[in-house]
Amino acid sequence: MAFSRVYSDPLSRGIFKKFVVMLCSLLTSLYLLHCLTDRCSSMPTPVKASSQVVGFFASELHDLRSLRRKRLLQKWTTGSKPGLSYESADDAKRTSEYSRFNDADTGQVLYEPGHQVDSDSEKNRELSHYMQPSLGDIVYSKRLAPRFMVKTGSTGKLSPLGDGSKKLPQAMIIGVKKGGTRALLEFLRVHPDIRAVGAEPHFFDRNYENGLEWYRELMPKTLEGQITMEKTPSYFVTREAPARISAMSRDTKLIVVVRDPVTRAISDYTQTLSKKPDIPTFESLTFKNRTTGLIDTSWSAIQIGIYAKHLDNWLQYFPMGQILFVSGERLISDPAGELGRVQDFLGLKRIITDKHFYFNQTKGFPCLKKAEGSSKPHCLGKTKGRTHPNIHPEVVQRLRDFYRPFNMKFYQMTGQIFGWND
């Protein structure tokens, strides 16, 4: 009866109801906390920085353990792909750096921007420099959020990381040696819709017996709307190359960087001299007979500069509209202008402009403010822009007289005046 009287009081009943409500709320909160704790414990945990895969979660490791990712990890220790040749040691070093820190199959940086990796090792300190994505390559993951997708440059389409396939080149830089081909390729790689092999494959002149599938495997992966490219300057002077490239695809677009043939020959000789200091003088190699002034056209340094002769061979397989001739001289004096012509020729938006270049007074030619895969300025290596030996003016004039009729024919064939006879 006493108990009944206590709780029959309205004030007591109100206190009891409040107590019950608070107790239920507390139990509900504890239950929700238990559920959240249990759920969080089952969620993927971040990968440690020492794994060198920053910004991804354990659930993503299934994708990262694919064959392509293993190959990428191998390149951090082995450098570039075997079986490729380089113009110089600097080219090999630069290509090795690109393949080590960029996905050689997609040309995309595989790290979330802004994260740092474990800096205990020298490789990780180097790696942190290459973690800035190149122009148009915004790296994302398919499952976590929109920022883990990749945006292709001018197309603006989002595609999952790792999409794309290896294709045979749709465009090639086929010549000429010592004309400025390396500079052109480095400049073009800034464009988000161009993916190019860093090293020279030499497929159509030295490795043709390996077959097209071998050649395809050397190419980087490309997404929809991107162009696959390669550069091998010796193709232009290789007799079999036009027929072989035409057999692969008659629609291949060809780019030839040409330069004053006299200056080109001296530059060619300078490169050989740096590797073989005991070779004969330039003058002795130039002439079959110095007294008569007969030029030795069997010497490759002289032969390469007879552009009209080599172009005749290419026109048997490709129309002139599929061949673009880039001036090596204007590539130095007006890189943005020449790159504009190349982008138009390839059917790409003019993304590479004046803002991408600065002129290096020491080297004497333009450099990139930001190279592909790097946030720092980039100039060509020490092997580019070597000081030429002094050649007797009479020898230079003899060569100009020799090349003049070939140059005039070349001007007529291309419809361009390069001004080498001035």
Contact 142, 227 (CB under 8 A): no
Residues 6 or more apart whose Cβ sits within 8 Å of residue 36? none
What is the distance between the terminal CA atoms of the chain, rounded to a whole angstrom?
Answer: 124
The residue from 75, 151, 178, 231 that is catalytic is 178
Question: Is 349 tagged catalytic?
Answer: no
290 assigned ligand-binding residue: no
388 assigned ligand-binding residue: yes
333 assigned ligand-binding residue: no
Other beta carbons within 10 Å of 65: 11
What's the token pair of residue 103? 């996905």
Q: What is the CA 107 to chain-centroid distance, rounded?
A: 7
259 assigned ligand-binding residue: yes
Which of 113, 252, 251, 244 has the alpha carbon at shortest distance from 171? 252
Which of 109, 134, 98 has the alpha carbon at shortest distance from 370? 134
Report the C-alpha gap between 278 and 276 in whole angstroms: 5
Report the C-alpha gap between 104 and 401 in whole angstroms: 46
User: 271-301: buried (b, 16+ CB within 10 Å) or exposed (e) per residue?
Assistant: bebeeeeeeeebeebbbeeeeeeebeeebeb
Contacts 24+ apart (CB under 8 A), 81-87: 81/199, 81/218, 83/207, 83/218, 84/197, 84/199, 84/200, 84/201, 84/202, 84/218, 85/199, 85/200, 85/202, 85/206, 86/199, 86/200, 87/182, 87/200, 87/383
93 assigned ligand-binding residue: no
Report the C-alpha gap between 107 and 137 in whole angstroms: 9
267 assigned ligand-binding residue: yes
What's the token pair of residue 82? 């075997």
What's the token pair of residue 353? 């402009």
User: 174-183: buried (b, 16+ CB within 10 Å) or exposed (e) per residue?
Assistant: bbbbbbbbbb
Q: Which amino acid is at 272?
A: T
Report the C-alpha gap between 199 and 193 in whole angstroms: 19
Report the C-alpha gap between 414 and 406 in whole angstroms: 12
181 assigned ligand-binding residue: yes
Q: Which amino acid is at 184?
A: L
385 assigned ligand-binding residue: yes
Annotation: binding site: 178-182, 259, 267, 384-388
Annotation: binding site for 3'-phosphoadenylyl sulfate: 178-182, 259, 267, 384-388
Catalytic residue positions, numbered: 178
